[in-house]
Amino acid sequence: MKKMIIASTSTIHGSGYLEYLLPTLKVFFADIKTILFIPYARPRGISYDEYTQIVKKAFATAHIDVQGIHQFKNPKEALQTAEAIFTGGGNTFELVNQLYENDILSTLKKVIENGIPYLGASAGSNICGVNMKNTNDMPIVYPPSFATLGCLSFNINAHYLDPIIGSTHKGETRETRIKEFHVFNETPVLGLREGSWLEVLGDEIYLRGKYTARLFKQNAKPLELESGDPLYL
């Protein structure tokens, strides 16, 4: 049975890394001693070691150790023997590229579906959907495919933003971009706002956090979901 926390972001305004999620994560990772961290997204281009240290510091407050997958000679074996897994944010193109480069996408999917607790934030959440086509990131590398884990039957648009009233910005909004996506694709898209996350237990999915989320379907009016609402797709 899948056990997943899929968060829009690792950090909200005025909060430390994962701080806003820690009360939830302490329950979610109860009895977990070590988390396997996937640092491939490399925010700001930082090294895997630097990124792992940031995550290690955050989880130390919950008395959980963190090991980076890059520290293992065999990443497939590391996934198969992990107690729990966290994939951090950064650039989704590079994250997906490295999952293919290391040939671990299917292994990651299998262990998640077998019930290994999984936490994803930002790019680590984007990969939970059918594909990565709704990421906001720049295509700094060219992965072999846009197909991702498919642990969800829809895509995630992390860091979803509403239009700002009175803004002089004349570029496309997130809603406009998603509508463009739906001209050519049927996959539903969930706009996940900052400070919100999904709780996945088997086939049950619930929106958590303080904010609403926006669900887009092809040829349909967007639906606003309240915190606590289940997702039926």
CA distance 43 to 46: 6
For 77, the enclosing helix (H) or strand (E) is helix 75-80
Identity at 86, one-letter amino acid code = F
- Look at residues 38, 136, 156 and name the one whose alpha carbon lies nearest to residue 91: 136
CA-based torsion, 24, 27, 28, 33: positive or negative: positive
CA distance 59 to 57: 6
For 65, the enclosing helix (H) or strand (E) is strand 65-68
Answer for the pair 181, 189: CB distance below 8 angstroms, yes or no.
yes
Active site residues: 122, 137, 159
Answer for the pair 126, 8: CB distance below 8 angstroms, yes or no.
no
Backbone dihedral region for residue 166 (phi beyond 0: left; psi -120 to 50: alpha; all else: beta): left
Answer for the pair 85, 116: CB distance below 8 angstroms, yes or no.
yes
- Parallel/antiparallel/unpaired status of strands 204-209 and 196-201: antiparallel
